[in-house]
A and B are shown apart, each in its own frame.
Chain A
């Protein structure tokens, strides 16, 4: 029994010894990776080297962030070498490779990391202007890249420098998600903030952000006029005080200010102006009759002024009407102003023509050297009885039952 067992063991031993090399040869891979380095700095040459037992030269598939390709090896004795092309080896990220052997393919990964040196800082700054008051902010996004246009690794420190008036400040931010950013809040005063960034002793160029005035605060208005008479000719000028924001910054030039004038009869007149050095000016012609104006100015939706009250005195208390013999010419005037001078040309006089108590026509004319002449055309106004009403400077005079012929 014992010897039989020994025999079996002996036979097994010899079988193993004889077949072992063949067995091993068959199952050991034909190719074996020699290169041990797994992490490379972008731009350094990357070569994968394999030992080979046969003379085949399989293709090596490599893929990186942007694309993939196949590589053909160069053979040196029992080794084959694949040099990864520069454009693949210079991009950070994972390179996956697969050796396309006939039998079991070999796979692996390499990692390309960026060199800790900056070639360029791509900077994106926006919005380009912000409003004063430390509430609004702009954002500086800085992407430091290496010589092969790869963003630097996360965790790298970036200094964000800024200057405003007499102050300078440096903040340090770290790269996260391949970018670094810093919110830059506005100052209380208007002006220009200069910003730059630096990383690994590489400095970006200068960028700037304008701090614009915040929305204006309420303001005052005043007026200027040559006299207080309602002559319908002179002009009253309205002026705002210097319009400022809550922080004392003069509002930007060109801010639109609208003046609302409310008359005694509750009509609204509007005039407007834009600011220059914070002051807006607007003009309005005098009324042609006695009136009281209440004026208020607005920067739409943001600020308003106090109310201002202006009185205009009547200049005309009465006027004459003269008629021609056939009544077809009605002369209004002379119209005198406050010093009994002839009223300046252009005061509007209207003539309402009634027939059988029905208004059939309104004629309008401006004064010329103190007079207005209305001519009644026989084609328009045939013979008959008419009533005329003449209005000038809020005074109405009526001529009843005038026969035209």
Chain B
């Protein structure tokens, strides 16, 4: 007995010893492992440098006829990049009243001019949120040793918002001409001299589109399987074609679709996504449906400094689609007035203004609108847009009055209700919600009002959805549940009673 006990003791001792060794061994190896992470040889030389697009104003070089040494494309590109970066760092400096990056893009003498302005503005609590939207550069001179270049940058479209103690004092759009002398120092083309030779204020342009919208009987469209993610990997043209068939047969003539900003690659639009969007328009064209394309979905930046990126994005889309037969109109942004509170009304409106200007500068044919989320906001920028569109989710009793009042306020503007609908959300989360029959009655009444007042409309939406991304209404299940049941066709693909009133009373 005693012997066995001793053996047990011994084995326990040996085992625990081994255990301790294993723990120590594993511990040390983990520490070594941790210390080795990040020491990837391939990353040692920082050979992989990713260029981030942070500033993409429209830029055009005049044909090269410079004095001095003939220019080569590589140097020209280097000058262009550094010159634009110089503008960018200057904007950042005046916005934040800091001097980051100024030294890289302005020579020792030139930068003092910027330092002086920053010092004064900082002391007076002035900040200037600015950007340049377009540059037209002519190379005047390039020195024989390739170290000095003189440019004339004409019609520089500048936009500035000037704040004092965080209050907007002035916002100004101008066209200016600059003369710049750049020196190649430490591999940077730095600005040595900069001289504004002309300045002209630009009034707000109002450019009516060549076409107008009439008789819109439409619907907002997302495929049932992939709402708010129409151009992802699950993109299914056959399904979309079938849906368009349903929409056409239901007596509707227009759809409203959304282009998510980030999903489409932000500043540089991903070609595959654009191809899918074009396919959607092609499919609509095949069914003789017109399309209102809503830009900048899931976007809320509005920063002046990023205008150039947003405009680059919009320019790509507008250029690609402006000749498409199915295109009816551009909706600049869906419900931007929801950002008024968090971002500031004037900031959002200024952003909308610049995007409208851009879209109109590229596409003079198709009308432009903004999808305001309520009738109250519908008057904003009414002179800039071609027709006024707003969403109506309020009580139907007030609809006729609201519409009449808006029409009275803007007698020469076409009004379109681009979203309305009722969720048949009665269920666990909404015990007193609307039933499918309530929804049918709602649409019936809507159609009655629309017919009576010749109101152009687009309903929300074709389908009940099974999954609503959290970015749309948040995570709360009762909100999601509401958003899931706005459709005319339920989650099983069966038409709901409201379907009868999708296009007429």
Contact = CB atoms under 8 A, between A and B. Distances in A.
B101 interface: no
A178 B199 contact: no
Contacts of B160: 63, 68
A138 B109 CA distance: 26
Nearest to B116: A87
Interface stretch (A88-96, A354-362, A366-374): A88-96
Contacts of B145: 124-127, 138-139
Contact of B120 (A85, A91, A124): A85
Contacts of A72: 124
Given A59-B169, A100-B170, A179-B150, A69 B121 contact: yes
B357 interface: no
B292 interface: no
Given A94-B198, A141-B143, A143-B181, A61 B193 contact: no
Contacts of B147: 124, 126
Nearest to A122: B192
A214 B392 CA distance: 84
Interface string B336-356: 000000000000000000000
A181 B164 contact: no
Interface in B135-182: 140-141, 143-145, 147-148, 150, 152, 160, 162, 164, 169-170, 172, 174, 176, 178-179, 181
Contacts of B181: 143, 151, 178-179
A241 interface: no
Contacts of A124: 143, 145, 147-148, 183
Contacts of A61: 162, 169-170, 172
Interface residues of A, number: 41
Given A59-B169, A149-B109, A179-B181, A66 B143 contact: no
Contact of A109 (B110, B144, B183, B199): B199
Contact of B144 (A68, A85, A122, A139): A139
Given A177-B152, A177-B179, A178-B181, A67 B94 contact: yes
Contacts of A327: none
A252 B390 CA distance: 82
A93 B169 contact: no
Contacts of A92: 195
A177 B140 contact: yes
B164 A70 contact: yes
A390 B191 CA distance: 78
Contacts of A74: none
B195 A93 contact: yes
A65 interface: yes
A85 B141 CA distance: 32
B128 A68 contact: yes
B128 A65 contact: no
A87 B144 contact: no
B62 interface: no
The 10 closest A-B CB pairs, nearest first, are A126-B145, A139-B144, A67-B117, A87-B116, A66-B113, A93-B196, A65-B196, A93-B195, A177-B140, A96-B199
